Amino acid sequence: MKEKKIIYSREEMFKMNKKKLEERGVTLEDIALIAYKQQSKYNPDIELSTCLESVAKILTYRDIFHAVQLGIEIDILTEQGKLSQPMQDILAEDLGMFGIDELLGLSIASNYGVIGQTNFGDIDVNKPGIVGKLNKDGKGGKCHTFLDDIVGALAAAASTRVAQIQSEEVAEHDPNIKQLQMNLKQKK
Ligand code: MG
């Protein structure tokens, strides 16, 4: 019997995530655009390509791979009517009081701390770009119950990651921090 493959490399996980998202009508650029819109309010100098790099990076992490793949799988099975009741109807109707989709989104965003979580909350409430489109399309025929939260959370994570990298760059150019680093080195 062929051995089952359940562990994937980061490169493989990235490719599978990208493919799965695209099959569901979401490009990495769509996600980067939301991250860009959110983060450029605080950092007007950032570029869309930086946000896109962050989206790509985040899609290589194992925890995030599992969340993306599982959430999308549930949406697909729901669309195909393959779940049993009561979950079939609850998910197909995208019941507002069902919160496990948000919980999955929150688990993705939580990789980037409290700021990641609040950034996810902002996207969840305001539904910018592709998130709004997914939400609307999910009301007719399609099931995007998990996908809209996954995409919002990936955008929030990417946006927060960009902010973290920016802070590190600022810190590196701060003469006080440079001095602190030198002192630490001398102590070692
Ligand atoms: Mg949802």
Q: Is the dihedral of CA 73, 142, 25, 108 positive or negative?
A: negative
What separation in Å is there between the alpha carbon of 104 and the centre of ligand 1? 10
Tell me the residues surrounding ligand 1 (ion) with CB < 5 Å.
101, 145, 148-149
The yes-or-no verdict on residue 178 having pLDDT over 80 is: no
What CATH code is carried by the domain that includes residue 37? 1.10.3760.10
What separation in Å is there between the alpha carbon of 62 and the centre of ligand 1? 22
Question: Which range marks the domain in which residue 170 is found?
Answer: 10-187
Q: Model's pTM, two decimal places?
A: 0.92
Provide the domain count of the chain: 1
- The reported pLDDT for the residue numbered 83 is 98
Instruction: Answer whether residue 59 is part of any domain.
Output: yes
The yes-or-no verdict on residue 160 having pLDDT over 70 is: yes
What separation in Å is there between the alpha carbon of 85 and the centre of ligand 1? 19
- The reported pLDDT for the residue numbered 12 is 98
Instruction: Answer whether residue 85 is part of any domain.
Output: yes
Q: Which alpha helices (H) appear in 127-146, and where do they start and end?
A: 129-137
Across 36-57, average pLDDT: 96
What separation in Å is there between the alpha carbon of 52 and the centre of ligand 1? 23
Across 6-15, average pLDDT: 98
Instruction: Answer whether residue 62 is part of any domain.
Output: yes
The yes-or-no verdict on residue 176 having pLDDT over 90 is: no
What separation in Å is there between the alpha carbon of 149 and the centre of ligand 1? 5
Instruction: Answer whether residue 25 is part of any domain.
Output: yes
CA separation for the pair 109, 9 (Å, rounded): 22
Provide the CA 149 distance to its chain's centre, in angstroms.
Answer: 8
Instruction: Answer whether residue 1 is part of any domain.
Output: no
What separation in Å is there between the alpha carbon of 94 and the centre of ligand 1? 7
Instruction: Answer whether residue 45 is part of any domain.
Output: yes
What separation in Å is there between the alpha carbon of 23 and the centre of ligand 1? 18
What separation in Å is there between the alpha carbon of 69 and the centre of ligand 1? 15
- Look up tokens 């929150």; give the residue: 106
- Beta-carbon contacts of residue 63 (< 8 Å; ≥ 6 apart): 107, 108, 111
Instruction: Answer whether residue 5 is part of any domain.
Output: no
What separation in Å is there between the alpha carbon of 105 and the centre of ligand 1? 9
23-37 pLDDT, tens digit each: 999 999 999 999 999
